[in-house]
Amino acid sequence: MLGFLKQVTAYTKEAFGAANYLFQGLAVTFDHMRRRPITVQYPYEKLIPSERYRGRIHYEFDKCIACEVCVRVCPINLPVVDWVMNKETKKKELRNYSIDFGVCIFCGNCVEYCPTNCLSMTEEYELAAFDRHSLNYDNVALGRLPTSVTTDPSVQPLRELSYLPKGTMDPHDLPQDISRAGKLPSEIIELGKENPSTINLKKTTQNPTQIEPNQE
Ligand code: SF4
Ligand code: SF4
């Protein structure tokens, strides 16, 4: 009789333990039901990159003065500026310019320090290639205008998840005029002009209008 009672007790303990594990698994499942969806049906849907996204560099050949500042500020001396000195005019003549995106770390130093603003970071991030040598862009490839998620008719653009309105979980089918949780950089600048105490005005020689929100 005592042995039977022990067996029943052990069986009951195991049944409660199994039910506990089952409940823990279901709790994780139910918890996911109220989380933000992160699936994007790429390439039919694409997230709109952040305004400050540092993607493929765009280059304007006509503005470049071959000063090589971009090479000196690059952590890996990556841009190749191919120029010759014209002995008659005693001026540099630019022949070619290239950046190897298979090596570039997209730090943006070259863009920041270029004196003629002929370099800019774009929102283009699809740089996959079968041959990494094809990522070495010359001035023609660098001068190509970037593809934009919002202007491509074959793509459904999704607003960036971090910019979704507060409390909104689904990035699909949002009206464009709905206010979002995060502020645009232009909105932060306007806010700083109206109320300078809310932000730090950080003036530098390179970018005198650079403004950073207060870290609170
Ligand atoms: S810093 Fe600008 S202007 Fe000077 S070589 Fe580089 S891209 Fe050209
Ligand atoms: S983004 Fe950075 S790593 Fe790439 S070329 Fe410019 S300075 Fe060099």
Q: For 69-114, write each residue's pLDDT tens digit.
A: 999 999 999 999 999 999 999 899 999 999 999 999 999 999 999 9
- 100 and 157 together in one domain: yes
Ligand at shortest distance from the CA of 104: 2
Start-to-end CA distance of the chain, whole Å, equals 68
- 203 and 159 together in one domain: no
Contact 59, 127 (CB under 8 A): no
Helices (H) and strands (E) in the chain, counts: 5, 9
Q: Is residue 1 part of a domain?
A: no
Residue 108: how many CB atoms within 10 A of its CB? 14
Q: Is residue 199 part of a domain?
A: yes
Dist. CA 189 → ligand 1 center (Å): 28
Q: Is residue 86 part of a domain?
A: yes
How far are the Cα atoms of 33, 61, 93, 95 from residue 90, in angstroms, in the given order? 69, 20, 9, 15
pLDDT at 209: 39
Sheet of strand 136-137, all strands in order from the earlier edge strand to the far edge: 80-86, 91-100, 136-137
Q: Is residue 216 part of a domain?
A: yes
Q: Rounded to an integer, what distance in angstroms lies between the CA atom of residue 202 and that of residue 216?
A: 17
Residue 78: how many CB atoms within 10 A of its CB? 18
- 110 and 205 together in one domain: no
- 103 and 206 together in one domain: no
- 162 and 197 together in one domain: no
The closest alpha carbon to 59, from 129, 5, 122, 139, belongs to: 139
Q: Is residue 19 part of a domain?
A: no
- 126 and 208 together in one domain: no
Per the structure, how many domains does the chain have?
2
pLDDT at 167: 62
Q: Which atom of ligand 1 is nearest to the CA of 71?
A: 6
The closest alpha carbon to 107, from 148, 137, 78, 149, belongs to: 78
CATH number at residue 152: 3.30.70.3270
- 147 and 205 together in one domain: no
pLDDT at 210: 41
Q: Give the H or E element holding residue 143.
A: helix 139-143
Ligand at shortest distance from the CA of 81: 1
142 lines ligand 1 (CB under 6 A): no
The pTM of this model reads: 0.66
Q: For 18-33, write each residue's pLDDT tens digit.
A: 999 999 999 988 887 7
- 74 and 112 together in one domain: yes
Q: Is residue 92 part of a domain?
A: yes
Domain range enclosing 213: 183-216
73 lines ligand 1 (CB under 6 A): no
Q: Is residue 25 part of a domain?
A: no
Please give the structure tokens belonging to residue 51: 């305004």
- 193 and 86 together in one domain: no
- 76 and 116 together in one domain: yes
